[in-house]
Amino acid sequence: MKLNSVGLVVNYEKEKARETACRIIDWLRPKSIRVYIEGKGGEPIGRKDLNCPTEKFLNKVNMVISLGGDGTLLKAARLAAFADIPVFGVNLGGLGFLTQIGIEDLEKSLERLYQEKYFLDERMMLDCSVRRKDKEIKKLIALNDVVIGKGAFARIISLATYVNNDYVITYSADGLVVSTSTGSTAYSLSAGGPLVNPNINSMILTPICPHTLSARPLIIGENDKVKIILESSEEEVMVTIDGQEGFTLKTKDEVLVKKSNHKARLITFKEKSFYAILREKLRWSGQVSI
């Protein structure tokens, strides 16, 4: 894919975000590559002329570069998935599971993008819809996870959980994480879920602080459909997408989760395997000869 227009999604709360955005713009412009910055993202660097309203952004670009951490890439990936546009993540923090390229390799990486010397890693996404009294009232898309969780002062909540309309369990817990394999290294992992290679399309159901020891994480197929019914009353409960978008639930609301028709297309140079990232991120040590 010839690189002719690039969209930037920037998290200016990250250190060196302004400097890095300017470096990218300065590198791209002499090559006659158009640059747009999502929303009003051009203002912090004095480039209002590059601002592009979110609703027009995807029609202007054929590649998105996210500047920040994994959270910024998640936002960019959800946005770009609707137009099947690839996303390249530049990491401005520590090592991320999704954003692996640091600013020290920026110009080198841009040159490889320009020469089309990269790979596209397609990742499964989730469609999430909320039904209230048999009416769909909210629809969302996630790359990492769909989380149903209680508020800070709420008691344990009850979540009746079905897979393909087969009743599985009613979780009495602080909440429930439904994640993709990509999201297995995020909230699901913190809640005690398994690590799953992102090349394996699956969904993982991980209860958050379950009330009973018998409630365990469950890995299900990519084509399975999950239905979760909020049984609790008078509790503050929300469904959250990738930890970034939220919606308040009411008693008897149904949260439906299934594989999305959209995919996240992540640009990679494949210089670090999933297992190498695990070793570095989780600080695993030791080596066995084989």
Which are the contacts of 86, defined by CB distance < 8 A and separation ≥ 6? Answer: 1, 63, 64, 80, 120, 265, 266, 267
- Residue 193 bridge partners (DSSP): none
14 DSSP assignment? S
Q: Alpha-carbon Rg of the chain, whole angstroms?
A: 20
Handedness of CA 222, 126, 185, 102 (dihedral sign): positive
Which are the contacts of 12, defined by CB distance < 8 A and separation ≥ 6? Answer: 18, 41, 44
Is 70 among the catalytic positions? Answer: yes
* Beta carbons of 11 and 96 less than 8 angstroms apart: no
Nearest 5°: phi and psi at 86? Answer: -70, 155
Distance CA 272, CA 290 (A): 20
| Of 70, 145, 242, 253, catalytic | 70
- Residue 129 bridge partners (DSSP): 139, 256
| Residues marked as catalytic | 70
